[in-house]
Amino acid sequence: MQSVADIPLRIVLLGRDIELRIVSLIVRAREVADDVVFLDLGSNDTTVELAQEVGCTSLHFTESLNPKEIALFLRDCSLDPANTTLAIHVTDAWKLQDISLSINRARELWDIHLSHIEDSEIEQSDEDPVLSTLELRHLVMTEAGMGALAELDSNGTQQSLDQKLRVRIVKASANVNIHQRESLATASKFAQLFYWMLESKHPLLLFGIPGIVLFFLGYRLSGNIVGALEEINSTSIGVTLATIAMTLIGLFSIMVALILYIMGKQVEQIQSQYDWPSRS
C-alpha cells in the first residue's frame, strides 16, 4: 500500500556554480514535478543560497558522481519516499530545453533509465559498460530501481541488475558547443551588475542625476554657443559638437534611468508573485 508521504515524481538537480540558472531551473521543474531537490556538488558562489530563497531543499553531495552513489545517497537521506525520481546533471552543455526529454523518460514505465554522455574522442567498444564509469546526463529511478542501484557493486553493469527490473542504458551525444554572441545569461559579471542595479534601486542615482545635470548644462550652453563663436573654424565646430554630445548623453542617461527603474518595479512584482524574498 502506498504511503501518504509518497511523492509521484521528484526531480533532483545536480550542479555546481549555476547561480544564474538555478532559479529558472527550479521554477521550470516545479511546473511538472511534485518535489524538487538540489544536490550541490561544491558551489563557490550563491547557488545554494538562491535555491533556498525560492524554497527548494538543498543538500550537499560529496561522493563520486555515478549512478550507484546518487541512488545510495537519495535512498539514505531524510527525504520522503518518491515513486519516481529523475536526477539531472546540470552542466555547461546542458540546456533548459533538454529537461522535456528527461521528463518524458520519467513518465515511461522504466525502473531505471540512464542516459549518459558519449565522448566522441574515445571509442566506445564495450557493449555492457561499468555503470560507475559513465558520465551521467539523467537518471530515472523507481523505488525498486533506486534500491537495486544502491546495492550494485562498484564494477556492476546492466547485466548485474535484477532481470525483473525494466532497465535501459542509452547514449546521449554531447551537445556541440557553438561560439555565440555573449548574452545576459552567460555574461556573469554584466548580469550581476545589471541585477544589482535593479535590486538596489540605484539607476536613478547612477544615471538619472548625472543625466539631468548634463542635459541642463548642454541645453543652456547650446543657446549661446552659436552667437558667441562668430567665426567658423575647427575650435568652434569642436565646441559645438561637444555641447550637442553632452546634451544627447544627458538625455540618454535620463531614459536609461527611467527604463531601469520601471524594470526594477517589474522584478519586485515577479518576486512577490512567487514569494521570492528580496536580497537586501
| pLDDT tens digit sequence for 125-180 | 456 788 878 888 899 999 999 999 989 888 888 888 888 899 988 887 655 444 54
Q: What are phi and psi of 106, to 5 degrees?
A: -70, -25
Contact yes or no for 134/59 (Cβ under 8 A): no
**What are the b/e assignments for 174-195, b being 16+ CB within 10 Å?**
eeeeeeeeeeeeeeeeeeeeee
pLDDT of residue 273: 63
CATH top class, domain 7-173 = alpha beta
* For residue 3, pLDDT beyond 50: no
pLDDT higher at 37 or 190: 37
Question: Domain boundaries in the chain?
Answer: 7-173, 188-273
* For residue 25, pLDDT beyond 80: yes
**What are the b/e assignments for 55-90, b being 16+ CB within 10 Å?**
ebbbeebeeeebbbbbbbbbbeeebeebebbbbbbb
* For residue 70, pLDDT beyond 80: yes
* For residue 1, pLDDT beyond 50: no
pLDDT higher at 124 or 161: 161
pLDDT of residue 262: 76
Closest CA to 141 of 156, 133, 151: 151
pLDDT of residue 280: 47
Q: What is the DSSP string of 108-134?
A: SS-SEEEEEEE-TTS----SS--GGGS
200 vs 222: CA distance, rounded Å = 35
pLDDT higher at 211 or 22: 22
- Joined grid coordinates for residue 240: 559645438
* For residue 122, pLDDT beyond 50: no
Classify the C-alpha dihedral 264-30-57-40 as positive or negative: negative
Q: What is the mean pLDDT of the chain?
A: 78
pLDDT of residue 162: 84
pLDDT higher at 148 or 206: 148
Cα angle for residues 214, 218, 224 (degrees, 5° grid): 155
How confident is the model over 217-230, as a mean pLDDT? 63
* For residue 94, pLDDT beyond 60: yes
| Residue 112, strand partner residues | 141, 167
Confidence label for 33 from pLDDT (cuts 50, 70 and 90): very high
* For residue 57, pLDDT beyond 60: yes
pLDDT of residue 181: 52
How many Å separate Cα 157 from the centre of its chain?
32
